[in-house]
Structure 1
Amino acid sequence: MISKRSLPLLIAASLSLAACSNKNLEPEMYTGFLHDYSVLKEHQSPSGQKTLSWVSPALARAHYTKAYLAPSQFYPSAKPTQRIPMSTLAGVTDYYDAALRAELGKVMKLVDRPGPDTLTVRPAITQIATSTQGLRFYEWLPVTLVAAGVSTATGIRDQDSEVSTEVSFEDGSTGEVVAEVVRKGTGVPLENDKQVLTADDVKVVLDGWASDLGKSYVAIRK
């Protein structure tokens, strides 16, 4: 039986779980980077992950033979913190660019400027953050729930490394938006709320996004 003294802690742990378990793509996450969020629909990426995306029929009709990859950016602009320093921010955008070049280069010729027959790809990192992991199923047991709440309150519980992106695809000649994508992913878990987040912690997410973009373009053109 849980004592009255433990009840507030149990409630706090339950609220923490509710906040941390809701890690889906939500409209309040939209940043304004994309042209029109109202057209986005939920789809499954080639790797089986949930994505919000929209593709204009113009993309399938067009004969894009080249791609211009604009340098990725943080949107809104990100400020370094003690846990997410400038070296991490720079490392994330550098690696994202490299991953996109590698995957898009497999299916299109990459060029250094927009132009005719060119698809312009504009990627943005819209979130990079850490959050306390949600409780596992067995931690819902009354006794363990209190212990889990203690570890959450003291900062020793594992942390998720989270990163989000929005990508706009535009006609290289007219600037017309022909596709939009919003993604969110969770990288390598951090040991506690003191561990510094590095670019290595989210590289697997960035690689997955880049791979999905390349495969999705191939599927659209079939």
Structure 2
Amino acid sequence: MKKNRFGVAAAVLAAGMLLAGCSSKVADSTQYSGFLQDYSKLQKVTTPSGHEVLRWISPDFKESNYRGIYIAPLVFFPPAKPTERVSQQTLDQIREYASTTLRNAVAQRTTLLPSPAGKRVLIAKVAITAVTAQNEDVQFYEVLPVTAVIATSMAASGHRTQDTALFMEIQLVDQDTGKTVMAVVRKSLGKTVSNANAPITLADVKKAIDDMVTDIVNFPKQ
């Protein structure tokens, strides 16, 4: 009888561990990169497309108060370096695609400015903070050594399929006051790759970028 009870307890514990290993839909505090100045006000919200993100909007923010938006060059934060699973070419492709689609999306809702000069300008600062393939939540040490921009949570066997994900942090700053009026931390899932050694390409994370762009276009006017 004791052996049976032990077997049941072990099974329950194993199931709990498997559930705990599932990928979360939003980043947690251990996955913040440090790109944003303040994470304390972020709250979980649902986007128009149904995705969950962490976001804060100043109560004084009104999009109509600005004559346009300047998007600073998109960066990897921390700076990215190629690895065996993500090449320099892929890193360049991801940044180029994310930058182009982001600018096109913003241009559909407001005036895109060529520089931050002048009054009533909103400045967008955007960073890709991690490109991951994971079986479970990315840990702190896996996100910040994104010196490789690729964090991999491997299954014990190393052959389990993995979900790709793209982490981005966005800050909107009022040029006149220098104050942040919106901050966003977003984790978007891409395609599934076959195992912990499979290369990650732009095609794998393209959906993650496209979902973000869709939400920008459909974001309610403030």
Report the TM-score when normalising by structure 2: 0.79
1:125 is aligned to 128
In the TM superposition, what is the alpha-carbon distance from 1:20 to its structure 2 partner? 3.4
The residue correspondences of 1:196-207 to structure 2 (distance < 5 A) are 196-207=199-210
Change (3 A) 1:62 1:171: farther
Structure 1 counterpart of 2:113: 111
User: What is the CA distance between 1:84 and its match in structure 2?
Assistant: 1.3
Cα deviation code 1:133-191 (max 9, x no counterpart): 79xxxxxxxxxxxxxxxxx4333221111111110001133322111011101101111
Would the aligned equivalents of 1:114 and 1:173 in 2 still touch at CA under 8 Å?
no
Q: Unpaired runs of 5+ in structure 2?
A: 138-154
| Aligned match for 1:68, one of 43, 55, 70 | 70
Tell me whether 158-167 or 109-118 shows the greater mean CA deviation.
Answer: 109-118
- Name the Cα RMSD after superposition: 2.9
Question: Residue in 2 aligned with 1:220?
Answer: 221
Distance 2:55 2:26 in 1: 14
Seen in structure 2, the aligned counterparts of structure 1 residues 186 and 171 have a Cα distance that, compared at 3 Å, is: same
Are the structure 2 counterparts of residues 133 and 54 from structure 1 closer, same or farther at C-alpha, using a change threshold of 3 Å? closer
Residue 77 of structure 1 is matched in structure 2 by 79
1:71-93, Cα deviation, whole Å (9 max, x unpaired): 11111222211001111211111
- From the two aligned structures, give the one with the greater helix fraction: 1
Q: Contact 1:43/1:53 (CA < 8 Å) preserved in 2?
A: yes
**% of aligned pairs identical?**
34
Q: Which residue of the other structure, out of 164, 172, 179, is the alignment partner of 1:176? A: 179
Q: Equivalent residue for 1:145? A: none
Query: What letter corresponds to residue 193 of structure 1 in structure 2?
Result: A
Q: Give the Å deviation of 1:197.
A: 0.1
Return closer, same or farther for 1:155/1:113 CA change in 2, 3 Å cut-off. Answer: same
| Residue 56 (structure 2) pairs with residue 54 (structure 1) | yes
Rounded Cα–Cα distance in structure 1 between residues aligned with 2:80 and 2:31:
15
Alpha carbons of structure 1 residues 191 and 23: separation in structure 2 relative to 1, 3 Å: same
AA of the residue aligned to 2:164 = S
Deviation (angstroms), 1:59: 1.9
Structure 1: where are the runs of 5+ without partners? Answer: 135-151
Residue in structure 2 matched with residue 163 of structure 1 by the alignment: 166
Aligned mate of 1:190, from 185, 193, 196: 193
Contact 1:162 1:186 (8 Å CA) reproduced = yes
Aligned twin of 1:140:
none
Structure 1 111/22 Cα, relative in aligned 2: closer, same or farther at 3 Å?
Answer: closer
Count of residue pairs the alignment pairs up: 200
